[in-house]
Structure 1
Amino acid sequence: MSVQSYLENLSNKLNLKQDEKEKVKKSIDTLSDRLNRYFDDQLKEHFKFGSYTRGTILPRKADPKSDVDYMVIFKNPNNYKPNTLLNYLRNFVNYYYKSSEIYRSHPTIVLELNHIKFELVPAKKDDWGTIYIPSPSSSYEDWMTTDPNAFNQKLTNANVNNSNKIKPLVRLMKYWNRENGSYLSSYQLENWIVENYYWGCNNLKDYLYSTFEKLTYNYNDPQGYKDKVDRAKKIIKKTKEYEADNMPYSAESEIKKLFPDF
Structure 2
Amino acid sequence: MSVSTYLYSLSSELIITESERIAINGYTDTVKTRLSQHFQTGLIVEQFSFGSFTRKTLMPKKADSESDVDYMVVFNPNKPTLGFYGGMTYTYYEPSTYLNWIKGFVEGKYPRSEIFQSHPTIVLQLSKFKIEIVPAKKDSNDTYEIPAPLSDYTKWLVTNPNSFNEIVRKKNTAENSKIRPVIRVMKYWNAQNGYIYSSYDLEQKIVNTYYYNCTTVWDYLRTFVSNISTVYLGITATSKVDRLKKICENAYNYESSYWSPNPALAEAEIKKAFPVFKL
TM-score where L is the length of structure 1: 0.96
Residue among 174, 193, 215 paired with 2:187: 174
**Amino acid of the structure 1 residue aligned with 2:161:** P
Distance 2:71 2:275 in 1: 31
Tell me the SS of whatever aligns to 1:257.
coil
What is the root-mean-square deviation in Å for CA atoms of aligned residues? 1.3
What corresponds to 1:198 in structure 2? 211
Identity of aligned residues (%): 45
Residue among 116, 135, 148 paired with 1:122: 135
Deviation at 1:46, TM superposition (A): 1.2
Tell me the SS of whatever aligns to 1:93.
helix
Residue among 221, 234, 243 paired with 1:222: 234
Deviations 1:160-209 (A, max 9, x none): 00110001111111111111111211111111111111111011110011
Deviation at 1:115, TM superposition (A): 0.8
Moved over 6 A (4+): none
TM-score where L is the length of structure 2: 0.90
Q: 1:237 and 2:249 equivalent? A: yes
Deviation at 1:141, TM superposition (A): 6.1
**Amino acid of the structure 1 residue aligned with 2:48:** F
How many correspondences in the alignment?
A: 261
Deviation at 1:140, TM superposition (A): 9.0
Residue among 235, 258, 262 paired with 2:273: 258
Q: Rg: which structure is higher? A: 2
Distance 1:44 1:206 in 2: 45
- Could you say if the C-alpha distance between residues 88 and 140 of structure 1 is closer, same or farther in structure 2, counting changes exceeding 3 Å? closer
Higher helix share: 1
Tell me the SS of whatever aligns to 2:46.
strand
Q: 1:109 and 2:122 equivalent? A: yes
Task: Identify unmatched segments of 5+ residues in structure 2.
Answer: 79-90
What corresponds to 1:26 in structure 2? 26
Tell me the SS of whatever aligns to 1:21.
helix
Q: 1:152 and 2:169 equivalent? A: no
Task: Identify unmatched segments of 5+ residues in structure 1.
Answer: none
Deviation at 1:41, TM superposition (A): 2.2
Distance 2:264 2:70 in 1: 40
Deviation at 1:28, TM superposition (A): 1.1
